[in-house]
Structure 1
Amino acid sequence: MNRLMRSTCLQVMVLACLSASLGVKADYVWLEPGRDGANAFLGLHDAAIKADIAVLNSSRAFVVDDKELALQKENNHFVIAPAEGDIRLTAQAVTQGEVLNFYQAKLGRSETKAVNDLELVPIASNGNTFKLVWKGSAVAASQVNVSTSEGWIRSLKPAEDGTVTLKTSFPGLYVLEVTARINGSTTYQGKKYEDVRHTATLSFEVPQ
């Protein structure tokens, strides 16, 4: 088997594994608009208490042209410097049970091209139909979880083409989340992890 064929087979294996979302709720990172830029939180959007974001490693905020944005920790969250266009944040953390987590968050739905390894992107700029992209290839999630600032919570099931469509029936902040376990182990900071998960969130505001 040549190198190209091996690479293709590996990609298929990874994509097959990514198509299954995890059933158990776990912490994720999401972004919200703030008074001066954006705020990044760790935990569950629908929970009253947020986790301490200081547990994250290699946290990095940036925009689509890879320009980095300043991060400042305040209490239990990060404050991200303001920028034009969609804002992204990536980070890693090892959680209970020796689980290696790769967190990827995005604020805004104007950009239709994925930048993070795992990213939910709108089919059309500022649209309500989204696809899940893993390293440049569209994949199907078994479900996408949605929570809003109004306390509305839903799980979206994909259509036959793998996309999910959300009805934004009322104003407020919407947070979409999907988590997938990666097939195989990964070495991170010199240690091998058998349980590796990628979590992607997409958050945006629907105005009054």
Structure 2
Amino acid sequence: MIGYLEGTVKRIRRDHLILLCGPVGYLVYVSAPSLYEEGQHLALYTHQQFKEDGQMLYGFEDEEVYQLFTLLIQVKGLGCKTVMSMLAHADGDTIIRAIENGDAAALKKLPGIGAKTAGQILLDLKGKIVLPESSSKKAEKTVSPQVGEVEEALLSLGYKQPEIDSINPSELAKEHPGVDALLRCCLKELARRKKGI
């Protein structure tokens, strides 16, 4: 069982990357490949799935997200790919808070999650996930109206929350006051990262 990999990103593809560990390249599925750059050093906690037609590796930089993933795939009706899609659209803290608050409506906004599956997630996991202290602090973090408006605009353009978080709009806002200026800066930074510049 492969539980951890550390190496260099060799290739980035639509839903996975090739992580070069010595002379061996591992194909690892991650929630947001566009956040990485070729040549980047990367360490991942991994879940190895065994199927009739082969094996698949799913990777996570954060061990808490890895643990959330392993809990979610035990829920009836949820598979690895569906959970990875959930994590691509919302960070682990958001999903944990939705579960702990019994917020089925928030869960139903995630791809592949209908009313029945949302209910099953709450039935199986509500009250069983301890929100980490670091996550609680993140949840308490306030976002300025300017940053909030820019993040909403980026989401409406198709960017995912993990991608937006990776460029830290609140920090960029210090040098780019105003919604329009900040939005232009964020779009430029997101485009630069996708090109791996």
User: Whose helix fraction is larger, Structure 1's or Structure 2's?
Assistant: 2
User: Whose strand fraction is larger, Structure 1's or Structure 2's?
Assistant: 1
Bucket of the pairwise TM-score, normalised by the shorter protein: under 0.3
In the superposition, the TM-score normalised over structure 1's length comes to 0.25
Q: Which has the larger radius of gyration?
A: 2
Bigger RCO of structures 1 and 2 (CA < 8 A, at least 6 apart): 1
